[in-house]
Amino acid sequence: MTPHGTRKVILATNIAETSLTVPGVRFVIDTGVQKRRLFNPSLGIESLQVHKISKSSAAQRAGRAGREAKGTCYRLYPQVEFDGLKDNTTPEIRDCDIVSLVLMLKIQGHDDILNFPFLDRPKRDSVVRSLEALYLLGALGKDGKPTELGKQMNLLPLTPQLAKVLFSAARGEENCVAEVIDIIACLSVSNANAIFMTSEPGKREEGTELRSHFASPLGDLITLLRAFREFLSVAIHGVGVKEWCRKWEINWRAAKNAMVSSRPRFWI
């Protein structure tokens, strides 16, 4: 229980909009924006972007205050901004990558994905692009049925693209499975910048110079691997980890999660 006279400040993401009651909340400050992971079917990538919320989200945010007693919501945007918001939030399935979902439905025996009775129907180009990607990855055969490789992909907690990379490394002759696992662990914790911090405005050149410490002529993935391996060498000794991350602009939380994924026996 919070001691009497203590001020409690809670920083929350969208997850706190619904089905959550925090005792003692009397004021809500609504920024009017949210971060959403959006998928670009033409490029085949997801990115975390800042978007305006909907009116329904604004109402839910206001409802976090005053659930136990009278409360107040302060919105950091004018009424005209509120009037221009969408009434409801776009369902996530219309904005995210559905390659894994399409593969799972195929394995369950649903052949006509374009006409599958989704509760909220995804965009048609997202479905088409997902089917094309699965064919290219070898997860679907010429008959449209899942291959053995596709069924194995579905068993891993990875996107089909990353699962294919892992299987290719395991079956190849390059003996690079350990390196691929590290790279996949870094990409899985954060697709946007992996374990690297996003430089503040005005400090981009400084951030680029710091990142050049890990740079490899073999490309960005090897640069990422070199940074992660250096983080591991510091983290395993358990001394000065956060200081090292601050110095080289490494996201400590993302790097720690990547380490737990690739080497679960090590913890910080």
- Nearest to 166, CA basis, from 262, 232, 41, 42: 262
41 and 126 fall within a common domain: no
**For residue 254, pLDDT beyond 50:** yes
Quote the domain boundaries for residue 207: 173-268
User: Do 105 and 149 reside in the same domain of the chain?
Assistant: yes
C-alpha 214/C-alpha 72 separation (Å) is 49
**162-190: per-residue pLDDT in tens?**
999 999 998 877 788 999 999 999 888 76
Whether residues 152 and 193 fall in one domain: no
* Distance between CA atoms of residues 266 and 3, nearest Å: 37
Q: Same domain, yes or no, for 209 and 261?
A: yes
CB 245 within 8 A of CB 252: yes
80 neighbors 48 (Cβ within 8 angstroms) = no
167: in domain: no
Instruction: Examine the domain organization and report whether 113 and 199 are in the same domain.
Output: no
pLDDT tens track for 106-123: 999 998 999 999 988 898
Q: What pTM, to 2 d.p., does this model score?
A: 0.75
- Beta strands at 33-40 and 27-30: parallel, antiparallel or unpaired: unpaired
For residue 73, the domain's CATH number is: 3.40.50.300
What residues contact 227, with CB distance under 8 A and at least 6 apart?
195, 196, 211, 214, 248, 250
